[in-house]
Structure 1
Amino acid sequence: MSPGSATAVAGASPPHFVLVPMMAAGHAGPMLDMARALASRGAFVTFVTTPLNLPRLGRASSDDAPPIRFLPLRFPCAEAGLPEGCESLDALPGLALLGPFNDACAMLRAPLVEHLKDAAGDDAPPASCVVSDACHPWTGEVARELGVPRLSFDGFCAFSSLCMRQMNFHRIFDGVDDDRCPVRVPGFPIDVEISRSRSPGNFTGPGMKELGEEIMAESARADGLVVNSYAELEPTFVDAYETAIGKKLWTIGPLFLMSPVVSTATAEQDTTAIRCASWLDSKEHRSVVFVSFGSLVRSSLPQLIEIAHGLERSNRPFIWAVKPGNLAEFERWLSDDGFESRVGERGLVVTGWAPQKAILSHPATGAFVTHCGWNSVLECVAAELPMVTWPHFAEQFMNEKLVVDVLRVGVPVGVKDAAQWGVDSETVVATREDVERAVVVVMDAGEEGASRRARAIELGRKAREAVARGGSSCRNVELLMEHVTQKKSMA
């Protein structure tokens, strides 16, 4: 189906997709990529955000970039009991505010419905469907008020999403007293065991259990599911997930490969990107280890010290993107310990933001030490690199199982228990010996390392094929538009 042909199905206006992401960098980014993919094929796209999140999304600078209508709704911080400015997950000062944050998100329902009804027939066609993050169950009511289908966007892989569904559906931890006791997940295509301490139950607190049940209920009512993965990466689990939910599932990833490259870097970020590129240019092909744990992880100083010594002992070149809870304390340690002077040009420490996609795709980069967030896993897969897996919370331990046990492109650092997001802890979960061992193994040039790298290269090739014209993910975007257009014509 060529761009614009979805419009021809209905013979009228193009389908109007209303996209509602979770307000967090790791959630909003893939949905913005989805918005570009839909808009480039002729859809009208409204992207819901908030005033403080809007500048973080950036704009496509080229004249031929697909048009997207950004809708910044006022985020009701005060009404929900949040400090002003807490408009995204990564802006929350602690776990205690997660409940109020979700309450604030739910308060967007009425203004969103009102805006979409007022805008219909004015500067936009009526909404054809709502595509929202699974963590926004309130959008189900938005879709019902508008009389349109709701599609749930799953920011996880099919493997982890199916695993979580089966865990919740069968309530596998009922009656299990030992948090570290592995429990088999029923109805899963392969034998998988997981303990409560490694399960995605890290976001606890008042109202969280009820929110989880509401998310499950609304997911069951959704018209279908959109997944940021590609069929060739996890075919068994995509099929099994679709069968389990009894609904259509569209794999349309990796979404960052689907959309045009858009630069939204600030001047400071541009400086960091140039610094990283210049340093990488001086290194040998596939010799560098990149270490980064995403936008939400904040490592304690004792843990950072162990990572530093592990990287030093590995004797491999490295770029390390650090987001500690107390940056000044870490920088003081760097100065007092003499770490940077000892590693010299072999290591580059970047505090704060780092150009992750550019680093992973550079020819000098040879492996990625990652927290196993799904966006990072996909970026690493697309870059054809093996990884050291260091999950922290949410579904990351399940992503690790896919990477290590199924795809066989990962080396576990050996973390036993999940961290709790938003809770400061001085615990060391991986020692310098753990870090050194994992880095040495993942960079091994022997037979095992060569096989791991060959599998990574093959997965990267399949990722590019999936998003190319005629590829599975490209076709699924077109089929998704066709599905919504047909629903629109029948309304």
Structure 2
Amino acid sequence: MSAGSAAAVPGTDPAPHFVLVPMMVAGHAGLMLDMARTLSGRGTLVTFVMTPLNLPRLGRAPSDDALPIRFLPLRFPCAEEGLPEGCKSLDALPGLGLLRNFNDACAMLRGTLVALLRDREGDAPPPSCVVSDACHPWTGGVPRELGVPRFSFDGFCAFSSLCMRPGADREGGKMNLHKIFEGVDDDDTRPVHVPAFPIDVEILRARSPGNFTGPGMKEFGQEIMAESARADVLVVNSFAEMEPMFVDAYEAALGKKVWTIGPLFLAPTMPLAATAEDANAVRCVSWLESMKPRTVVFVSFGSRVRSSLPQLVEIEHGLEATKRPFIWVVKPRNLAEFERWLYEDGFESCIGEAGLVIRDWAPQKAILSHLATGAFFMNEKLVVDVLRVGVPVGVKGAAQWGVEAEGVLATRQDVERAVAAVMDCGEEGSARRARAAELGRKAREAVVHGGSSFRNVALLIQHVQQRTSTRNPWIEKKPSDRR
């Protein structure tokens, strides 16, 4: 079987059965739905595990693609863990103080999932492997009970994971392993060097990632690290040409394979246009059609961030001052308070058609793939220091996962300056855009036939077939064999 095809052939082993368990939040689940389409498009059977309420939020059901994807619904135990009815997604929580309850409710799904997979409803073959979100440590026990390998899916890039995630010693990434912030005050403005890293990287304590530092989250972070270390393979939504040295370094630190199979949303089986019958999707795409190419600033800080009103006010004034069209996805800490301020300030009526304010959810793939989009606020360290396709916003600190963001981390001047710099038409701005365009070209090439991620998907499927076959042993391959 070649690396360009993985479909089952008559007379050979049957196509492998991948069970995908995404995290119950739109951004994470959307990526894994893209993976489901990619795998099923290559001749495998895919079971996609999700609560019924969450699937429609992804835009469309996997069955809409006419691909062999099975949807396995699981009832989410809200009441059992003290969650309000309907809080079946991380971004639906009324407050981040309920994160531990949410994670405990997810863990309660383990027994039900194992039983359903063992029963094998209909003519479904037994699972060949379980691919689950790295942020779902409870899923680690599912493949162990079923006697199949677990592939941990990491939506982060290898660069970020090498900094933060566990190595073979299970002590965490380079930042944790070397305790680089030990004895450093939170407000210390001196940069701290990250040791034993492929390149020179420095980071401020105040701007370091705040994951797993909120109340009750330390233990959860330790569970994630322990299960990541126990996983058979790590699958990353990145591509080899973007960060080759970090993929190799992360693989060496883990002592196991790291498969780059992204960017998943660019895979040919995934339509880039918005397909949901959602008012926000229709509104966004229609508005983008009226804009000039590469002029729109897209501002979205993910599903977990709940900004305070003072911070939202600063972002609003900063965006208005740029005099550039924008789409701003807002996740306020207090929606009623924000809506009251927005009405009294008259911001939306003032900006008119120059900007869109989207509450809660936006069709990110459709926005990012549209010709009108010219800039996107995202992970600073990789984009600025490594890929050199962005500029720092200049935040004074980092919000923690599990703690509601208080006060102002980025001022209106920070926002205005950053947007002006990244959209600059001068020599520096042109150079950034040229590098971004080159990375975009390489990303698109990676997922089509013959590309590095395309080949890795085929090799990953072959590995699963060899692992589950009684006739073939698990064949180890060197990093160079998968690129």
The Cα shift of 1:206 comes to 5.4
Structure 2: how far apart are the matches of 1:285 and 1:13?
47
1:465 paired residue among 420, 445, 456:
445
Counterparts of residues 86-97 of structure 1 (less than 5 Å):
86-97=87-98
Structure 2: how far apart are the matches of 1:224 and 1:60?
25
Structure 2: how far apart are the matches of 1:28 and 1:242?
25
Match of 1:314 in 2: 322
Which range moved further: 194-203 or 218-227? Answer: 194-203
The Cα shift of 1:207 comes to 4.4
Are the counterparts in 1 of residues 210 and 398 from structure 2 also a CA contact under 8 Å?
no
Tell me the SS of whatever aligns to 2:374. Answer: strand
Give the 3 Å change call, closer, same or farther, for CA 419–20 of structure 1 in structure 2: same
The Cα shift of 1:128 comes to 0.7
- 1:66-104 CA distances to partner (integer Å, 9 max, x unpaired)? 121111112222333333322221122222221222222
Matched, 1:260 2:270: yes
Tell me the SS of whatever aligns to 1:131. Answer: strand
The Cα shift of 1:447 comes to 0.6
Which range moved further: 473-482 or 307-316? Answer: 307-316
- 1:304-351 CA distances to partner (integer Å, 9 max, x unpaired)? 222222222222232323232334433433343343444344333333
Match of 2:117 in 1: 116
The Cα shift of 1:420 comes to 3.0
Matched, 1:452 2:432: yes
Tell me the SS of whatever aligns to 1:297. Answer: coil
Structure 1: how far apart are the matches of 2:223 and 2:304?
24
Match of 1:387 in 2: none
- 1:161-218 CA distances to partner (integer Å, 9 max, x unpaired)? 0011222333333444556464332221112233444333443355432332222222
The Cα shift of 1:129 comes to 0.8
Match of 2:142 in 1: 142
The Cα shift of 1:265 comes to 5.4
Matched, 1:59 2:61: yes
Give the 3 Å change call, closer, same or farther, for CA 61–212 of structure 1 in structure 2: closer
Matched, 1:233 2:242: yes
Are the counterparts in 2 of residues 3 and 41 from structure 1 also a CA contact under 8 Å?
no
The amino acid across from 2:239 in the alignment is: Y
Match of 2:224 in 1: 215
Which range moved further: 173-182 or 80-89? Answer: 173-182
Match of 2:409 in 1: 429
Matched, 1:438 2:418: yes
The amino acid across from 2:140 in the alignment is: G
Structure 1: how far apart are the matches of 2:385 and 2:272?
34
- 1:339-364 CA distances to partner (integer Å, 9 max, x unpaired)? 34443443333334333332333333
- Which ranges of structure 1 fall in alignment gaps of 5 or more residues? 373-398
Counterparts of residues 242-261 of structure 1 (less than 5 Å):
242-258=251-267, 259-261=269-271
Are the counterparts in 2 of residues 95 and 203 from structure 1 also a CA contact under 8 Å?
no
Match of 2:168 in 1: none
Give the 3 Å change call, closer, same or farther, for CA 117–334 of structure 1 in structure 2: closer
Are the counterparts in 1 of residues 213 and 401 from structure 2 also a CA contact under 8 Å?
no
- 1:410-465 CA distances to partner (integer Å, 9 max, x unpaired)? 11110121113454455122222111111111111111111011001000000000
Are the counterparts in 1 of residues 52 and 75 from structure 2 also a CA contact under 8 Å?
yes
Structure 1: how far apart are the matches of 2:212 and 2:110?
23
The Cα shift of 1:245 comes to 0.8
Structure 2: how far apart are the matches of 1:82 and 1:10?
50
Give the 3 Å change call, closer, same or farther, for CA 485–450 of structure 1 in structure 2: same
Which range moved further: 67-76 or 440-449? Answer: 67-76
Give the 3 Å change call, closer, same or farther, for CA 303–248 of structure 1 in structure 2: same
Match of 1:410 in 2: 390
Are the counterparts in 2 of residues 19 and 48 from structure 1 also a CA contact under 8 Å?
yes
Give the 3 Å change call, closer, same or farther, for CA 86–411 of structure 1 in structure 2: same
Tell me the SS of whatever aligns to 1:218. Answer: helix
2:304 paired residue among 271, 296, 304:
296
Match of 1:16 in 2: 17
Tell me the SS of whatever aligns to 1:411. Answer: coil
Are the counterparts in 2 of residues 38 and 477 from structure 1 also a CA contact under 8 Å?
yes
Are the counterparts in 1 of residues 206 and 398 from structure 2 also a CA contact under 8 Å?
yes
- RMSD of Structure 2 on Structure 1 (CA): 2.5
Matched, 1:76 2:56: no
The amino acid across from 1:256 in the alignment is: F
Tell me the SS of whatever aligns to 1:109. Answer: helix
Structure 2: how far apart are the matches of 1:264 and 1:287?
20
The amino acid across from 1:133 in the alignment is: D
Structure 1: how far apart are the matches of 2:94 and 2:206?
23
Are the counterparts in 1 of residues 328 and 358 from structure 2 also a CA contact under 8 Å?
yes
Match of 2:50 in 1: 49
Aligned residues: 459
Are the counterparts in 2 of residues 129 and 143 from structure 1 also a CA contact under 8 Å?
yes
Which range moved further: 196-205 or 183-192? Answer: 196-205
Are the counterparts in 2 of residues 24 and 89 from structure 1 also a CA contact under 8 Å?
yes
Matched, 1:277 2:285: yes
Matched, 1:188 2:197: yes
The Cα shift of 1:60 comes to 4.7
Please, what TM-score do these two structures have when normalized by structure 2? 0.88
Please, what TM-score do these two structures have when normalized by structure 1? 0.86
Are the counterparts in 2 of residues 14 and 44 from structure 1 also a CA contact under 8 Å?
yes
Give the 3 Å change call, closer, same or farther, for CA 262–315 of structure 1 in structure 2: closer
The amino acid across from 1:190 in the alignment is: I
Are the counterparts in 2 of residues 184 and 191 from structure 1 also a CA contact under 8 Å?
yes
Structure 2: how far apart are the matches of 1:319 and 1:93?
24
The Cα shift of 1:19 comes to 1.0
Match of 1:389 in 2: none
Structure 1: how far apart are the matches of 2:251 and 2:10?
26
Tell me the SS of whatever aligns to 1:132. Answer: strand
The Cα shift of 1:295 comes to 2.5
Structure 2: how far apart are the matches of 1:125 and 1:264?
33
Match of 1:130 in 2: 130
